[in-house]
Amino acid sequence: MAPHYFPLVYAGVDGETQENSEAVRDLVSENAASQFHADPSANKLCIMCENEGTQLCGSCGCAQYCSAECQRNDWPIHKMLCKAFTDFKPSERPSPNHFRAVVLPVNRSKPEHIWLQYDHKNRTMVVDHPDLDDFAKSIGHTTLPLSDGFCLPINDASLFKGKRLGQGICLLGLATTVTKKQVALLNEGHSALGKPALLHPLFGPLIHVAMTRDDQPHETQETGPRAGDQPAEGKYELPGVSLTKLRSVAPFNLDGNAKNDASGENIGQDNNKSPQLPKEDSDKGDSGKNTGTSTTGEVLGVDQFDKLDHNPIRVQDITMRDFRHFVDFYHHQPSNPCIVNPERTTLFYIPAIKINSVTDPFNIKMGVSEATATRCANVPGVTFHGQFPAILANLVDLRWWVRSGDFLMNEEVHRPWSNADARHLDAILAKANPNSEADVVAAAFPLKGSLLVIHIQGLPLLPDHIRAFNKYMDLVFLTGGMPSKKGFSAYWQKYKAEHERAGICMEDVYSPYTLEDIDVGEDVELQDVVKHDAVLLQRIISGNPEEWMAAVRAMRKR
């Protein structure tokens, strides 16, 4: 195995400082003191909620819970690491400078423990793991290209719903400029935390580290490495790459550039302004967030960190509680198409039907199977990626809208689509000109990865609604007739009866029109512009059904 290096901060090329890195800022700013603060009392709390942790996991003894219910809720995640924690003994620590960390490997579905070595003096973390070797090889390197690495402190408490951190946590990985959005480089360990394809895909290895900050000068973090462990002078220089001559680290931008301009936009335009993890182009610093100015106003950069007469960052052993925080961090990214654990977030969410392509290689690697091809999911109430009325559904008075369930849709990669449940939902009403109120056209929604279908009032659709609707529309196209509410209502009765005759219990399956009769008072809490569009666009469809039906037919012929 080759050692892979992650510097705490990255200097610019040829002495040019990298002041735009949020990671740098957070390590050196005054806020860092509280962000990397050790709070041992937090470790006495249930790792799922803030109640007192009175019970320990019987197998590993490393996870505290307040109740059997919290333990049960954590089990899908905890079981991935429970045995590994048991098998990973502090007595086997290779040196006092080695610390327990967790890797999400690219090509394995489970997180794994590693001993991460911390070179306190040189401010560098060293990771040995065969997955990192394989990954480096797959991108044509022997060790990971540090210049494109990131070292991101995770401290957005809103992602943890107010749960306290027991210590600071930090994520190491590689910017997508290196990892590219290739199937082979997609992080399977990360995807497994949100199967099937509920998370925004991440690429390359991810390493989870716990840290605290100690403003007292220390020569080394611990008592120093054991004899034989001390790396030879200069070992932390890779051939041809000096740590002080590295290109900038890609800053993260996790609040998603939440500009209110992304919805209802023209489907054809490049709307690649989704919050990305990590952000692809580190040099632009275009969001106003990555200005290198801390919340207290002072401008800080890597040079400040270098000027500190000692390194205040100390790596610590990661705990189960820390890892649970990382999982919450992944689950609650606003860039995810779906919300994995709605009860653990303050994000506003609505139910949706997710229609996944079952032959899409990204989906397959993210855990989509025939059984999960079309499924219920929860999605953010507000999307930054645009959502559009499905013309044919609106023609039968069903206020269904669609949005992408896959945020790689702008990538120039061939993505085979196969899920017939989307067959009559891809005709949408879109604005030809985003600045015009009335200039709307029928357009084909690009089917890549997956499609999300929502009810505009945020009410729960059922997979049966989608399937019956598609079958009804098949008939409409076959006979050349006009779709109508009356026609689909009658077809729905037939659909239900057929299923019941086949022995399928349809007792709890309500008619799609049940939802249309519910008045929730307001439409889904959309951005104002979308709310305006929602009313306008639906009026446009219902105002001239023949014209829109003809537009869809013409579109199909092309």
Size of the residue set binding Zn ion (CB under 5 A): 10
Among 60, 364, 529, 551, binds Zn ion (CB under 5 A): 60
User: Are the C-beta atoms of 2 and 143 separated by less than 8 Å?
Assistant: yes
Min dist CB 170 to Zn ion, Å, is 23
- Nearest residue (CB) to Zn ion, 87 versus 134: 87
- Nearest residue (CB) to Zn ion, 10 versus 85: 85
Sign of torsion over alpha carbons 91, 92, 98, 102: negative
Query: What is the token pair recorded at 236?
Result: 């932390």
Nearest alpha carbon to residue 119 among 32, 224, 28: 224
Min dist CB 325 to Zn ion, Å, is 14
Nearest alpha carbon to residue 252 among 334, 327, 150: 150
Alpha helices in 264-407, H assignment, sequence order: 302-307, 320-331, 361-365, 391-395
- Nearest residue (CB) to Zn ion, 55 versus 489: 55
Region of 46-54, 259-267, 488-496, 504-512 interacting with Zn ion (CB under 5 A): 46-54
DSSP string, 123-143: TEEEE--HHHHHHHHHTT-SS
Min dist CB 45 to Zn ion, Å, is 8
- Nearest residue (CB) to Zn ion, 73 versus 107: 73
Cα 375 versus chain centre, distance: 19
Min dist CB 99 to Zn ion, Å, is 20
Among 46, 159, 169, 430, binds Zn ion (CB under 5 A): 46
Cα 303 versus chain centre, distance: 32
Among 59, 158, 291, 514, binds Zn ion (CB under 5 A): 59
- Nearest residue (CB) to Zn ion, 193 versus 358: 193
Min dist CB 498 to Zn ion, Å, is 46
User: Are the C-beta atoms of 488 and 311 separated by less than 8 Å?
Assistant: no
Region of 57-65, 186-194, 198-206, 460-468 interacting with Zn ion (CB under 5 A): 57-65
Region of 68-76, 138-146, 244-252, 394-402 interacting with Zn ion (CB under 5 A): 68-76
Min dist CB 76 to Zn ion, Å, is 13
Q: Which residues make Cβ contacts (< 8 Å) with residue 421, sequence separation at least 6? A: 355, 373, 374, 463, 466, 467, 470
Cα distance between residue 515 and residue 353, in whole Å: 15
Q: What's the count of helices (H) and strands (E) in the chain, helices before strands?
A: 15, 17
Min dist CB 346 to Zn ion, Å, is 17
- Nearest residue (CB) to Zn ion, 82 versus 238: 82
Among 11, 28, 57, 262, binds Zn ion (CB under 5 A): 57
- Nearest residue (CB) to Zn ion, 75 versus 348: 75
Binding to Zn ion, residues 136-155 (CB under 5 A): none
* Preceding peptide of 196 cis, ω within 30°: yes
- Nearest residue (CB) to Zn ion, 48 versus 127: 48
- Nearest residue (CB) to Zn ion, 51 versus 346: 51
User: Are the C-beta atoms of 210 and 168 separated by less than 8 Å?
Assistant: yes
For residue 152, give the H/E element and its range: strand 149-154
Check residue 54 for interaction with Zn ion (CB under 5 A).
Answer: no
Min dist CB 112 to Zn ion, Å, is 15
For tokens 């537009």, the residue is 551
Check residue 51 for interaction with Zn ion (CB under 5 A).
Answer: yes
Min dist CB 51 to Zn ion, Å, is 5
Cα distance between residue 203 and residue 180, in whole Å: 7
Region of 49-57, 218-226, 308-316, 359-367 interacting with Zn ion (CB under 5 A): 49-57
- Nearest residue (CB) to Zn ion, 70 versus 254: 70
Min dist CB 511 to Zn ion, Å, is 39
Binding to Zn ion, residues 1-40 (CB under 5 A): none
Question: 3-class secondary structure for 270-297?
Answer: CCCCCCCCCCCCCCCCCCCCCCCECCCC
Check residue 49 for interaction with Zn ion (CB under 5 A).
Answer: yes
- Nearest residue (CB) to Zn ion, 70 versus 146: 70
Min dist CB 419 to Zn ion, Å, is 37
- Nearest residue (CB) to Zn ion, 64 versus 276: 64
Q: Which residues make Cβ contacts (< 8 Å) with residue 250, sequence separation at least 6? A: 21, 148, 150, 175, 176, 177, 278, 279, 280, 281, 282
Query: What is the token pair recorded at 55?
Result: 């019970």
Among 24, 32, 45, 66, binds Zn ion (CB under 5 A): 66
- Nearest residue (CB) to Zn ion, 162 versus 234: 162
User: Are the C-beta atoms of 1 and 133 separated by less than 8 Å?
Assistant: yes
Among 77, 82, 174, 454, binds Zn ion (CB under 5 A): 82
To 10 degrees, the CA torsion angle through 482, 484, 487, 489? 160
Min dist CB 66 to Zn ion, Å, is 3
Judged by the rule CB under 5 A, the positions of this chain that interact with Zn ion are 46, 48-49, 51, 57, 59-60, 66, 70, 82
